[in-house]
Amino acid sequence: MIEEIATVTAVHDGRVEVSCFSKSACGQCRQSSTCGTGLVSKALPGRDHRFVIATELTLQPGQQVRIGIPEQSLITGALLVYLLPLLCLLTGGLVAGWAGLGEGASIVGALAGGGLGFALASRLSRRRGHDQPVILGSLLPVARAD
């Protein structure tokens, strides 16, 4: 189970909306000033991710909770989003190239294959029903000792 800390933003009947902030590992090493990835992560703002999760816990807005998602769901989703369109793109280009239709047709075949791969990935992910994040527990509030 992959875990993350999230903040409850809204409470509904039997469900809560939580948000967690996307953080980057960049900036943690000495190469962050010359690394292209580190420069891009500094230039682009982070984004927060929002989920609506079913729960029977009594939670309040602003409370922090631990959420988790199964590793298998994450791996399957990554394969669908990254690998399937790439394989379809390569297949489309290769089929058009083997047919001897020319370079332009190979490019069009690759683009068509990539588009088909994204459409297929979208359809498969909706049909398969991905595992939703679950609330593993609430965090205890931290008391300040000022």
Q: What are the residue ranges spanned by the domains of the chain?
A: 1-23+39-70+132-146, 71-130
Assign 123 a pLDDT band (cuts: 50, 70, 90).
confident
What residue type is assigned to position 119 of the chain? A
Q: What span, in angstroms and rounded, lies between the C-alpha atoms of 130 and 79?
A: 13
Query: If you ran DSSP here, which 8-state letter would residue 131 be given?
Result: P
Report the pLDDT averaged over residues 37-46: 63
The pLDDT tens digits of the residues spanning 75-121 come to: 888 888 899 999 999 999 999 989 888 899 999 999 999 999 999 98
- Tell me the CATH number of domain 1-23+39-70+132-146, given options 2.40.50, 2.40.128, 3.40.630, 2.20.130: 2.40.50
Q: Which two structure tokens, joined as six digits, stand for 92?
A: 């489309």
What is the predicted pLDDT for the residue at 111?
95
Over residues 43-62, the pLDDT tens digits come to 666 667 787 888 888 888 88
What integer pLDDT is reported at residue 71 of this predicted model?
84
Q: What is the pLDDT of residue 119?
A: 93
Exposure string over 87-116, b if 16+ CB within 10 A, otherwise e: ebbebbbebbbeeeeeeeebeebbebbbeb
User: In the numeric block, which tokens belong to residue 95?
Assistant: 């089929």
